Structure 1
Amino acid sequence: MNTGEKKLLRGWTLFLPGGIRLQGAHEYTPPAINISTVDIKTGA
């Protein structure tokens, strides 16, 4: 993982299945995009 990816992930709010929300940023928190990002990064 490069520095750019770390900054990107740190900037997202993480939405987990079931509506659990881990706050990462307050500026932009689109749930659908966050779920997709988690899928890509973790393979969950």
Structure 2
Amino acid sequence: MVSDDINLYTNSVDKFVDKLWVIGIFAFGTTQAFQCLKNSQIKYNKINWL
């Protein structure tokens, strides 16, 4: 009985960690993408001003 509870707990923790991992990667990826977009826009604007 106790081992079943422990297994359930570890499984839910593993799933939670997986979700956090995915969310973390997604958030990091989007911020990187926005950063790249911002940088390219700045470069583009500089080229237009020249």
TM-score, normalised with respect to structure 2: 0.27
Larger Rg: 2
| Structure with the largest fraction of strand | 1
| Structure with the largest fraction of helix | 2
TM-score, normalised with respect to structure 1: 0.30
